[in-house]
Amino acid sequence: MARIAQTRSPRGVAGTRRGRPASAARPSANIRKVRQAGRREAILAAALAEFSARGFTATRLDDVAKRAGIAKGTIYLYFRDKESLFQELIRTMLSPLVGTIEALRDADVPVRMLADQLVELFVREVFLTRRKDVIRLMISEGPRFPKLAEFYYREVLSRIIAALRALLRRAHERGEIANDAVVRFPQLIAAPGIVAIIWTGLFDRFETIDVRAMMKAHVDLLFTQRSAA
């Protein structure tokens, strides 16, 4: 069933392939390179779908292959083994986040505004994409992949937290933030997002959650100004 939609590539290409005029035109061929990259992506996409649905151990590489439209053996041309596939999947998907976040770091706008942008970023780039599933995977399987957890902490989390902390401290000193709770625990900023990811995975069919609204409400809390009573 299921059948993966995105990452067009292999089968389709191979099928239509036939009538190609000549191997001319392109210098020689990184057609191969391109195709290989496509394969790789197809495998990663299929792996994400399967790992998300069943978890690491219960995922069958046969199914990943079928979903990617290739033979099982092919997977081993691109990845050393199942675990390696899993780890590269997570690395590939989460690494880009750091840059995006760090880009915001030095912007010199009111923190309040930055926070709103952060929420928007999270909703658009994580919650509404497959990255949400990757984070869920990280949460579920991470404890059994110490190496992966370490990578994630070192390369992603610690950087984000450091950036946030600096940012928030500045804001607190400027008086933009009344309470120093978030300065001491920057994790609090992400908390509603994490909870939303978990919630939708478990209970969406019983009660949906409006992530954006919840995160915005939370940001409001964090930035509550002392105002005349």
* Residue 140 identity: S
Q: Which is nearer to DNA, 83 or 150 (CB)?
A: 83
Using rule CB under 7 A, residue 73 touches DNA: yes
Instruction: For the segment 142-181, give every residue that binds a copy of itself (CB under 8 A).
Output: 142-144, 149-150, 152-154, 157-158, 178-179, 181
Q: Residue 143: CB partners within 8 Å, gap ≥ 6?
A: 149
Using rule CB under 7 A, residue 1 touches DNA: no
Using rule CB under 8 A, residue 194 touches a copy of itself: yes
Scanning 24-32, 79-87, 99-107, 187-195 for contacts with a copy of itself by CB under 8 A, the matching segment is: 187-195
Report yes or no: 167 and 222 within 8 Å, Cβ to Cβ: no
Token pair 């912007």 is found at 107
Q: Which is nearer to a copy of itself, 24 or 202 (CB)?
A: 202
Q: Residue 133: CB partners within 8 Å, gap ≥ 6?
A: 48, 52
Q: Residue 95: CB partners within 8 Å, gap ≥ 6?
A: 155, 156
Using rule CB under 8 A, residue 126 touches a copy of itself: no
Scanning 22-30, 111-119, 190-198, 202-210 for contacts with DNA by CB under 7 A, the matching segment is: 22-30
Residue 82 binding: pick among DNA, a copy of itself, none (C-beta 5-8 Å cut-off by kind): DNA
CA separation for the pair 89, 43 (Å, rounded): 9
